[in-house]
Amino acid sequence: MDQSLLSSRAIRGMYFARLETNAGLPWVSGLSNMFGSDQSSETYAFLGQSPGFREWIGGRQAKGLSSNALTITNKHYESTLEVAVKDARRDKTGQIQVRVQEFADRSVTHWASLLSSLLLNGASNVCYDGSYYFATDHAEGKSGTQSNSISVDISALPALVHGTATAPSVEEFQQALLACIAQILAFKDDKGEPMNENAKEFIVKVPVSLYLIASAAVSAVTTTALQQNLNANLIAGLKISVVMNPRLSIWTDKFSVHRVDSPIKGMICQEEKSTELKVKAEGSEYEFDNDAWQFGLDSWRSVGYGYWQRACLVTLV
């Protein structure tokens, strides 16, 4: 492309070309379900689980459904990039192309930003059952009281090397991780039945500071865990991936684990209007008044909490 002839149409083409090569962060679809919306808000009914089989004694015993619900309200988001006409005319090094690519990337990673905020506020924002998303007092029907927010005292763990809560040893992280997975596998639904008994695939969300330790722990989780006489049946066949998230920087002593092989996820992405690119460029009144072009993105979307039973927060102490 001849950069001396850079036009708004060329910039628009750069934007859409970048979108075709950037599918977003894979963990977003692992942690959340995407739902379309056609109104200002959507209400999601959490009706509980279907009853399990019982021996036929004394006729049928019908079980009703619960009536918990969560409403997610769409919000209007925008991002606007301005390019001076003189810069478009003089750009010989492709600097505008780089900025446009970053502009497109921002529109794709916005979902990751919204979901990260949900994670960071999970211990103080309520989900469909009225408890905080990460809480110790979840209860529905016959589930009993359940916790998806656990603390692990690493100093009490059987490890050859001990670290600190903000810098645990690989052995300590492994055992805390497996304790979290065991917690998820034990969750029961409102009928008292296991919700995650067939779970095999998990994502571990960590801040940058815990990434190397978590990666080393997961890469050797099978052999080391077996050597420590932990439950071999628990770890057999599990697929565990570590995902570093720079947006979780305040989690200096925390990480979360998410089941990602279930069709119903732990979070919800909701979109009323997909991202639209709008342009004020050649021949526009804005160009006449400001000698510049504007490229604006806007979308109506939101996020919310789904099944808390698909996630668990670990605090190292």
Which of the two residues, 169 and 4, has the higher pLDDT score? 169
CB 105 within 8 A of CB 22: yes
* Residue 3: per-residue pLDDT: 43
For the cut 50, the answer to whether the pLDDT of residue 1 exceeds it is no
- Does 96 or 55 have the greater pLDDT score? 96
Residue 312 pLDDT greater than 70, yes or no = yes
- Stronger pLDDT, 4 or 111, i.e. the higher one: 111
Domain ranges of the chain: 3-120+275-304, 149-266+307-316
Instruction: Give per-residue pLDDT as tens, 105-120.
Output: 888 889 999 999 999 9
What is the average per-residue pLDDT within 94-104? 81
Architecture of the domain delimited by 3-120+275-304: 2-Layer Sandwich (3.30)
Interatomic CA distance for residues 202 and 311, integer angstroms: 9
**Whole-number pLDDT of residue 62:** 54
Kindly state the average pLDDT of the residues 97-110: 83
| 36-95 tens-digit pLDDT | 999 999 988 764 555 566 567 666 655 554 557 788 999 999 988 888 888 888 776 677
Which pLDDT belongs to residue 108? 82
Tokens 């670990």 label which residue? 314
- The pLDDT of residue 222: 53
Q: State the Cα–Cα distance between residues 134 and 290, nearest whole angstrom.
A: 50
Cα–Cα distance, 65 to 141 (Å, whole number)? 10
Strand partners, 48: none
pLDDT value at residue 53: 66
- Of the two residues 145 and 229, the one the predictor is more confident about is 145
Question: CA–CA separation, 174 vs 219, rounded Å?
Answer: 10
* Mean of pLDDT values over 197-203: 94
Q: What is the dihedral of CA 28, 32, 37, 41, to 10 degrees?
A: -110
Nearest to 310 by CA among 271, 263, 272, 243: 263
